[in-house]
Structure 1
Amino acid sequence: MKKFSFAVSAVALSTIMWACGDSSSAPSSDPDNGSSDNSFEGFVESFEDLQVCTTKRNGLEILVKEENKTYICQDEKWVLKGASSTETPESSSDGKVDAPNSSSATAFEKACGDLWCGLTDTYGRVNTGYDEDGYDKNEGTSGYWYDFTDNNAPENGDSKIIYPPYIADGYGIFFGPLIETYSGIKFSAEIGSAYEYGYVGLGFNVVSENQEGGDISGWDGVCLTYTATAPFQVELASENTATSTDYGNLVYTAVASDKGVIDIPWSKFKMKAGWGMPGIDVDENAFVKAVAAVKLNFTNSGDYYIQSVGRKGTCNSVYVSSSSVEPSSSSSSQVKGCGDLWCATTDDAGHVITGSDDETAGYWYEFTDEHVGGNSQIKFPSDVEELAGQFFCTTFSLMMEKYDAIKISAELGSAIEKPFAGIGFNIWSEMREGVDISDWEGVCIAYSSTGKFTLDLVAGGEEAIEGSHNFGYEVPKADSLTVINMPWSEFKQYDSGTESSATSSDAVKKTGAILLKFQESSEFSLHTIGRLGTCGS
């Protein structure tokens, strides 16, 4: 049985066509195709594209094309050319003034993890605690950032890391200038097709370039601040992985986020799926006493920005609002926060990040009782169905883009005694294998519904959607947007007509799909789904 601890999904969302909502993609870093990373050319597209104003850029003038205005770097602030310091908008701590008339502008706080901070680093080096005497003098070989890809034998892959243009250093030290320019490590991952399990990554050695193991147990865990358009894995590489765990390292999956801050205790790291000696139960407390490297593995094409690394509990949020503009009335009803599995406001593919590496996992679908003689229906907004017929897109992907929600009508028929219809997604693959989702601790959703429904855990391999042996949670109707948390302990098994000793704890160790099933006609809207406690308020 697969132990499923929110592992990384390998679905390449970049294959979704523009009509399915690809407008959220970040600009390419190719200097010949209109990249916004053009500060060294003397212009940027928008104010948000300005790089950090450092002392080294003092006097630099950049044209912001969107405003047709020129800003100049003065005293670690971007100010309008020709304006005095008293006439300049109040600056934020990242060396930028607040974006004019922008209710969504963000700014850096001077708060970072205690091992590495992109705001202050100029060497491209993490302070792991080793080479302590020589760290300030930039001596020793611990902690330097490096990258890796699947291009070497035996993989012979063709995946790429693409960095912003015009970053170079005469001494061959690349990460220092990159971090100084962008206050972090900014790049795009392009996962190729030459190797079946394509990947790229970043990492740093704990003790030295020889990758001997170092004791990092005193960190209690690790924290990270980042932005990412796709999930990725944080990996602890062992000093003696070949002999102790048959090349099995401990990993934790970070979800896609535009304001990611994660705090990962050692207990949350699990053996990398598909690796390790069968039957070996790795003790993470012993494992972290001999860690050779900390790595970030990327198996999804996307845009990434790593800003800070620290010991557990030392990473503060790197984003604060830099605008005094009040939210509009239309946004006041939105849930403040999204679940960590799926969020309609950021999804443009109709896809839940379940963590599976199978390309068929996580996609939303609808179901009805038709296969058992029923005549119930799931109906989508007419404008969405019309567009879905015109473009090579799923109805769900278009619905996310237009409504920032799954918006359906469940119309139950009368052809069978117990009609039903609903929506759902498979966790591991379309084959609906049973996997262990116990460490989610439960699920949460933000929704509104004119009728009650159940959230069902379909047992792995179960073909009958009505699943009399499934465990479920009865969700009440809600006239307005409502958040509900459903711990596994409160899921109950349907009456199957036979005695059963199964418990919800057993069910979540072999779950193949999650379904939202309606047994009365309802108007329904779903905004997010996540692991227990991650859906906001």
Structure 2
Amino acid sequence: MNKKLHMVCAGFSLAALGCSGVDVSGSSEEPNVLMAQNSSSSSVPGASSSSVVESSSGNYEFNDGDLWNPSAGDFTVNVARYAASLPAGAKTDGHWVLTTDAENGGSSSVVWPMDYVSSKDERAIVEACNGICGTVVLKESSSWDVDENPFAYVGFTLAKDSSGNPIPVDVSDWGGICVTLTSDQSFSLQLAIRDSLDLLDERTWPTFAYPAVSLPRTKDGVPKTVCRKWSDFRIPTWKRDVPEYWKTDVGAKAAKQLVAFRIEFAGRPGEYKFNIMSLGTYSEPSSSSSSGTESSGNLYAGDDYPRDLWDGQARETNVKTTLYADSSWNHLQNGRWFEYTDRNEGGNSIFDWYWSDQYDGHVAPFDVIIDACGSLCCYNVILDQGELSRKPYALFGFQLAQNDSNQGVPVDISNWGGICVTYKSDHPIRMDLDPVSLEMSTDTLTSGSAIEDADLDIYKWPSVVLPKTSSLEIVKCYKWNEFTQPYLDKLPNPEKYRISGEDVAKRAVAVRFIIEGENGNVGAFNIKALGTNRD
């Protein structure tokens, strides 16, 4: 299947946010509201007393619920808050609406938590859920007219003209948006703008796109507050022929002419519970703040973090491995990410990347993951020893260089001075310098020593440990001389592999990130940026 982030209804008309009789109806007097195709009941997703906050910047403040707070009695979204003046004759909207893929031949629907068919407004659902909740039932059907994932979304238009047609509003002063929710399915936040901007073209459906950010499902029903600045919103990389105007500052431009905001659920067929609990703005603090805050030896990332090697927020696909390096191997630059697990040796460990559910369980291309998250993000690492005689492991990393035969070759990166990682992780991650390429024949080391099958590759090389973090991103920087071999005594021939971090940096093939431990779910991690550590 084509697994792109498709964007709702073919030929989407901004005269009505809905796409079919499934979802919405109304006028400026009778607003568009949530309407369900069936009236089956489901349990209300429970809200936890605690929640997780995830933001794209340490220097922004989230204003929880200032746009919509059902706990305080809000039914519609306060779209006029902090917004620039509305167009002449416009009336604010902010009513929640539902749309599914039925217009395009799909069979998806939403099951509400009560018998609810055609109420005049969303009040019944908000009161029942203390939010907007239900179960998205994603289905494909024989009449599905394009090769796409099924989908459904909830959202709201900002304002309407005197004829009841949605019109754009400047909400750039919001700074961004924060959504508190639970969701069993990955989702995306989308900024809908007029189709006259050529981002939406019925003739090229389903290749149109709106500025969006994609996010993972939440864990264990725990509410999560997701905050994103306007600058985080981007047109997905699969969109072809993007107009020149929309190649830069996409989110900021869209926020100045926003017609509707959407939360879309898409993926493999199945039933997925969700509960949208509040919306808030995401503004810069009134007083200036530092780029990072020291606490317990960690530098919290903020907006100023080392990223000269690789910046996930800039959607850089490859690591700039030749930076500061000898020009003799510039033409060999690689920098592509890879993963490797113990499944090749009898184990069953896997990475549950944030977009794996969009790829039928197969590994999503790393450029898709980076584009979706603005980082290298993984929802969970599942360690399973299987038939291994040692602890299970899973690793990922990037190769530095390769020859014309696509084989990794050792190169000198000592001029980096070391490496800095901006990240957060539920589990410690061992980072090592590997002089042996996974792409090369493993019969020789760069030093000429033979590799024996009994030798444990993940223990050999100089390494450091990225510690487990809190919910905040931190920056950890290491010099090459801090890379040591604490596990050397695990090898049957330890002296054969004794080498310093500085020496490996002069003939490295890959930088690897290794996660190992006991059987079970290790948790999530997020690698945001890499930088050199030069004096």
TM-score, normalised to structure 1, is: 0.47
TM-score, normalised to structure 2, is: 0.47
